[in-house]
Structure 1
Amino acid sequence: MHVWDDEQWLQNFQMRKATFMGLCEELAPTLRHKDMRLRAALTLEKQVAIAIWKLATPDSYRSVANQFGVGKLTVGIVLMQVCRAINCILLRRTVTLGSVQDIVDGFAQMGFPNCGGAIDGTHIPILAPAHLASEYVNWKGYFSMVL
């Protein structure tokens, strides 16, 4: 990972190295571990890389473990720790629901009383990034992301 260029970062993690390092910085307070007497702690970057790789690919725990030179159990532990850190540190800053009462009132005005949300998959048109445009073409032929 230390010698990859931005294109390799995009291919492997769907983000540039600067974005990855920024994510590591944000999660550092929760994920930094001290070395033990018998073994060194995993670096922060390796923890985040393991979690992103596992979340972004259909790879098995064994495959991810082999990819990063750790055990399967370590992959599971790291995945849970990184997800918890993302949930604690980033989620509230990134995903906001607004006022629940305002949402319920809005649905009631549309004829859906006592409703606080709806689950569906819908394609939201986007301007695709030039370097990955083909990744965002949907079955109808325009650029979108599923929400």
Structure 2
Amino acid sequence: MQVCRAINCILLRRTMTPGNMHDIVDGFAKMGFPKCGGVIDGAHIPILAPAHLASEYVNRKGYFSMVLQALVDHCGCFIDINAGCPGKVHDAHIFWNTGLFRKLQAGTFFPDQKITLGEVEMPIVILGDSTYPLMPWLMKPYTGSLESSKERFNNRLSWCRMTVECAFGRLKGCWRSLYGKLDLADDNIPAIISACCTLHNICEGKGEQFTQAWNSEIQRLEAEFEQPESRAIRGAQCGAAKIRDTLREQFEAESHQ
């Protein structure tokens, strides 16, 4: 725990930053999504039953867990994390109570760089799945009956979202303790998770090799501790749907060029 606390105290803020936003935006643009500054998702980390309020840690798949919510860049490095919320808590509720949400809502997390699509002004956005709220700065997939243009939008968003899924896979592949149900006090586990995320960024930044054989072990563990699905959030902040529709129309127009 002393090592993990030292990693978090000294290295976390140095390694977990947005970095060069121009490179990140360009990276996601090459994947097909313009003006994107990151992708957000949550991962459930299995834990032993906590001594107190254990029922709050039982997720929708029936095992005890803590949630790691992370925003990653186009290379799969963590830009921002929140670790330690009980597994029963909905991803959107975790997000609403983070400093990341408050900064994005205030427009202070990313540089104030906006573009105009048609008649719609669009800030740097992040991408999430259907469990997150649709905001002017957070794009999510369309749901329900989908016409071809909406499917095209969803496909582009899904392609970019693979970066966060890959990041979680590499994190768990390298730092197997995250699947070890650590025999620690539950208030110590978030420090372990944060330290692993910091080490992940250092290894990714140094180009450390990821052994593909680790993937088979992770797939086995993922099958044992299947990731629960959160309920979709259907609300949208004013103006968010218009931005998403404008992006959809642009993607549709590009497909016909």
Per the normalisation by structure 2, the TM-score is 0.21
Structure 1 or 2, whichever has the larger Rg, is 1
Considering fraction of residues, name the structure with more strand: 2
Q: Kindly indicate whether structure 1 or structure 2 has the higher relative contact order, using CA contacts under 8 Å at least 6 residues apart.
A: 2
